Structure 1
Amino acid sequence: MNKTTYTNEFNELWKKDSELKSRWGNIIFCVAYLVGYPATSILYFLRNDPAFPEVLAAQLILSGIIIFLLMLHFAGKLSAQKASFYTNLALVPVHAYILAEVPHASYDRASLNMTLGLMFSFFVLRWPVRYSIILTLIVLIIFPPALYYRHPHYLFNFFSQGGLFFFLGQMLFPFMMYFHESRNKHEFFYLFSLAEQNDLLEKQKQIAEDATLAKSEFLSTMSHEIRTPLNGIVGIVHLLEENKSRSEEEMELIETLKFSSIHLMAVVNDILDFNKINSNHVKLHAVSFDLEDLFKNLYNSFLPRTREKGLDLNFTLPDLPQLRGDQVRLSQVITNLIHNAIKFTDSGFVKFSANEIERGKDVINLEFTVSDTGIGISEDQQASIFEIFTQVRSLVKRQDGGTGLGLAISRELVRLFGGELSVRSQLGEGSVFSFQITLPISDVVRNPVHPEKMATPAFSSKTKVLVVDDNATNLMFATQLLKRKSIPFDLASDGKQAVEKYFSEGYNLIFMDLRMPVMDGFEATKIIREHNQDIPIVALTASAFQDERERALANGFSDYLVKPFLPPDFYKIVYAHIGIEE
């Protein structure tokens, strides 16, 4: 790694890190000479060496300097590296003085002690290279003249009695410091680069998460803005359709409008569904259901379309007990597959079935299959049909339409069930889509209901409903539905009006839009709930994101109705909360 690659920011961080890591080694070096060096004067005393006072004085002066340097360090005025560096600088003249002025019978012990001290420095000191170069130059400049000046033979004796090894070691000292610094600097640079990359990845991750959140919030807002007027369109179309006195031409126009509104609603729902799945907002809600009833409903739903195209539609189903699972999502998957099969089949049949693969004590493993005799899918296209916005484009007629999201949504929903959606197909010979999932057996026992014994829903004459919505078209649609059942009602265009009307009038049921000006549905519901915990309040929303259903139910709402809704959906809620049986 070239030095030129080190930035100023890196060098500053490196200095701080180097100081921090070498701090205690440098302090240990200072303390070792503070305590250990004066202790050597005891040897002079034990030998009755007349130079004992001079040696002790020089060593005490050195100890005083070291104490002063340590005080500066602990006061925060001097780094540990500089404290050990200045200690070494002070040590050089003291060594030179003792070697030059104190007679030595032999320099063997002195050169050995100094060499050992130098080796100790190798292990505990971590300096910038310039410190070690300065120290080595000072040693080479001061030691030889000091030994030679008063007694020329001292220099020769010192070199011949081990001093040569000390000087060689001292000249190696800068190289050792360079080796340590280079290795540590490279390691730190690696960690620094890794930290930078992690910071960059963290920023990119945050940007991606923010973008995903922004996308979800945007789609949530757009779903409200699109579904709210769409609810009015769908509702008014159904109201117009029920007027049988219109001319055939008008009825044809209404039918066309109904088809277009239903198609638009399907496109919007597909896009929002896929976004919910990708944002992990889809949770399976297990309920007890009868698979035979589900298949019969699917058969009745698609029978008119298959008859129109001259196709045979049939299903096969073994004898099964009540199951437990998310019936709505399972129906959505099978519906998508049947819809595609009918769309791409011009002659022959469309068949859907469920086969029992294995049955345990509490669970059943089932294989669901939808097969057709349609256009088929070539092998090179089979790998891409589950991708979003993808269709078998070379064979799709424009009138077939579609978003290309149906199979992508179905695959993800099947994965939520713990299965995998697969396809077998040959071009021109049809396709077979299948998946296996395991469903628990329900404790509920099938209990057939005879139609002639069913109760007829009706309403109490004292019933009164409050509808709260800031969209005039939605208010008109809801009120028309209430008028048809002769149910008294009041209207409010925001949460504040709803609260005021609630306290001045008595209501049996409130339909409350969630997003409104002045005061939203959450705040209005909170105020009403402080005075009445029992009145049913149904959340009206066009948003399908951010777990708004759970949020609404957790904030005091009794039920939840997603716009756009059809008359049966609306009446089902009304019957559930204020209906009586006749």
Structure 2
Amino acid sequence: MTPVNILVVDDREENIIALSALLDRDDICLFCTTSPNEGLKIAWENQISIALIDVQMPEMDGFEFVEMLKSNPRTRDIMVIFVTAISKDAKYAVKGFGVGAVDYLYKPLEPSITVAKVDSFIQLARHHAEIRMKNEELQNMAVVVKNSADIICTADAQTFLIQNINPAVEKIMGFKPVDLIGTSILNFTIDEQNDLFSEKLAEIVRESLHSSVSEFKFKTFDSTIIWAECRVAYRNKKLFLNISDISIQKSYEDQLIKSKESAEYGKKVKENFFANMSHELRTPLNGIIGITNLLRNTGLNEQQSDMIDLLELSSQSLLGVINDVLDISKIDAGKFKIVRAPINLNELIMALYSLLKFKADENNIEFLLDVDPATPLNLMIDSLRLNQILMNLLSNAIKFTAQGYVKLTVSVLQKEESRAQIKFTVEDSGIGIPANRLTSVFESFEQAEDDTATKYGGTGLGLAIVKKLVELKGGELTLSSEEGKGSTFSFVNWFTIVHKTNEKAANAEEPMLEPFENVNVLVAEDNLVNQFMMAKMLKDWGVEFEIVDDGRKVLERLTVKHYDLVLMDTHMPELNGYETTKIIRASFAEPKNSVPILSLSASAFDHEKEEALTVGMNDSLSKPFKPFELHEKIKTLLAKENELKIKHSLPHA
């Protein structure tokens, strides 16, 4: 509860102390002063509700003080209680009440009477404050209603006769408010909707609805028809109506509906045209390709064979363009289906890589492949469409890259028991895409520049198909590009894991690997599956080991313990393997700063191997690796470390 402000003015300090002691409560905020002038200032600056004023004061007596309070609009509503030691003669009481006091307290003060009177005036002050607040709300509401752009009115819930209505009715409908009082609100609607409006209002009353919105046609004073949105509420046997003119919105809606119907019709015509033309072209083209194959099996001389090769190449190229157009028309028409089946993703990726690598090699472009070892082997995939997506992206990347590299990355973002979220990324160091064309390249028949088709060829359908296929598969295609530096396309999707027994792997015999003696290894690996695999191998080899999942934890463990070897994953959260190695080499003291570090990376790229050696790693091993490969690396690094130790322990010549 908000405290009530009380002002105490008395020229004697001891009187103020006595009153303060009596009124020391949480629901009271006291302002005390011995100066009348200071009291006036306090009253002006604070919302004072009650004032306890001494009558006899040297500078200004209490009567004069109260006269000044009452003369100011800001302080005139303060309830004044005179505190006096003079006679209780009626003339003093009359004078006090005459200047505006509401009561008297006589000295010496009787505590119980003082507290009782103050309590009663506190309740009165709170009541007054509540009344003032409600009056302000009513005044504000009256201003809002009067100036509202909507028609606001009340009507009797039984007769529907208008009781009050604001001036907006004259602007919207042309009727003067005074002429509508006592008339039926039903008269607003057109004749055809009169019964419907009556039934709606009756329903609101019958069900005591506090909120109901509906639309009706109203007729104005000059018989113009307008659309009105009626928001109606029922309370205390009255209907409260807020009526808005929505004729303009309705006109826009009608236009939008017509535009939508026109657009849908145009879209349907376009889809039918593309579909029909594609089918009509593909039918004879299939015949050409078939005859070409038949001719190849007949006796041909070298010149004829070369001509058949050119004919087949041209036919296949044309068929690809036609199929692209057909796919676009099917997707836009909603007739395209995704058909999933159990597929070995690794085989699909490797086949695609092998197919396109020769094309990259011809252009002297480095074609890089990075497949996350955690990628499930068998997944439910529409292999035809995934192949189509990756083929389009990779072909584009190779076509628009004059020098440098094209890289395909397959990474696992999330993995659950029955499904995995996989991200496919195609990155290149090609010509890039201007910032103002990043969106338009995904539109049919659009390319990054107006002369792209002239320089590089193509229909501009590839990326449009890729985007639509990715979305149909439930994914999202993203693009980042910088003109002159290259582009990166990526898409993410969830795939259902299919559990199949890899018989070849199951039957393969692992070579016998010798155990290690007294070897302590720290493993930095953030992938749970890889952690399990590493733990199994090291345990079989008799290695003592600890596993952490980021670089910061590597540093923490090295501060408290020495290890013979660190197996360092290069790509980890928080602090990656490269940064961690730099810190170890620069910040730790011997022998910890020279501990052998083996880089374990899912990337087989030369530049990453070079970076590993540059930051201070001793060797690298690319994932996926076979157990004997890791065993051999560990064996070699430990042997080199032992040689260095022996060398340093020998006496100098």
TM-score bracket, normalised by the shorter chain, equals: 0.3 to 0.5
Determine which structure has the larger strand proportion and give its number: 2
Normalising by structure 2, report the TM-score: 0.39
Determine which structure has the larger helix proportion and give its number: 1
Flag the structure with more relative contact order, 1 or 2, with Cα contacts below 8 A and sequence separation at least 6.
1
